[in-house]
């Protein structure tokens, strides 16, 4: 099941009595239905996520995520000066760790990455990024991560002086008038776990982004970004 998660709704593991995308799907398909959580987005992030309908599908999709064969693309609106020329892709190799109970993840040099240890051990975090449009104090950025660490995109951008609009946890001083934070999962591509057929799902930029950031979408055709 591929769905577009709205900003503000957790993917799963919401507090008891609170709604999440997982509980919405369980309610829709019935308590006896299998709903396997395969990919997640932070609660304030919107965009494409995939759930499995069978244990076999969950295992097959999880393997693709572990092997980094899933294609993922995001859009973000950031403040500050992005550390690369307009339109030029940059590759960031870092390591990220998290501590249970702490709201923020921590960034480390890539050399600190380890495949051993628990969640607190720094894990490799790779991201390709480029600026698509600059307008005043904000920029529209395209992001292609090959890893999926907790708060990875938020932390890697903030650590380079360009936090995502609305992301107060990582230093943004500019609120996101469209709700949540200005980060959207616009594309997810993988092989069907049963048939191996190539599948791709695109979610266009939320229409509200045009109203929230008119300087970035002032052109007649808008930014030339897939899914935007």
Query: What are the residue numbers of the active site?
Result: 42
User: Can you list the positions of beta strands (E) in the chain?
Assistant: 2-5, 36-37, 46-52, 71-79, 90-97, 106-109, 123-135, 138-145, 183-191, 198-202
Q: Which residues of 167-200 are buried (b: 16+ CB within 10 A; e: fewer)?
A: bebbbbebebebbbbbbbbbbbebeebeeeeeee
| Rounded Cα distance, 107 and 123, in Å | 10
Q: 3-state class of 21 per DSSP?
A: helix
Tokens found for residue 10: 């957790």
H or E element at residue 161: none
């Amino acid at each position: 099941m591929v769905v577009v998660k709205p900003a503000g709704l957790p993917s799963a593991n919401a507090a008891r009595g609170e709604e999440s995308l997982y509980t919405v799907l369980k309610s829709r398909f019935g308590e006896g239905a299998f709903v396997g959580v395969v990919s997640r987005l932070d609660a304030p992030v919107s965009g494409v996520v995939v759930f499995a309908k069978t244990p076999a599908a969950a295992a097959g999709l999880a393997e693709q995520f572990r092997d980094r064969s899933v294609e993922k693309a995001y859009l973000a609106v950031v403040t500050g000066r992005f550390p690369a020329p307009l339109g030029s892709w940059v590759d960031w190799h870092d390591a990220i760790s998290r501590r249970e109970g702490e709201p923020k993840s921590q960034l480390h040099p890539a050399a600190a990455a380890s495949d051993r240890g628990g969640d607190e051990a720094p894990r490799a975090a790779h991201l390709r990024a480029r600026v698509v449009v600059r307008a005043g104090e904000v920029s529209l950025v395209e992001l292609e991560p090959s890893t999926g660490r907790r708060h990875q995109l938020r932390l890697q951008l903030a650590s380079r002086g360009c936090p995502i609009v609305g992301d107060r946890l990582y230093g943004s001083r500019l609120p996101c008038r469209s709700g949540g934070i200005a980060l959207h999962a616009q594309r997810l591509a993988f092989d069907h776990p049963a048939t191996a057929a190539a599948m791709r799902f695109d979610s266009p930029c939320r229409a509200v982004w045009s109203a929230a950031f008119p300087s970035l979408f002032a052109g007649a055709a808008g930014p030339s970004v897939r899914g935007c």
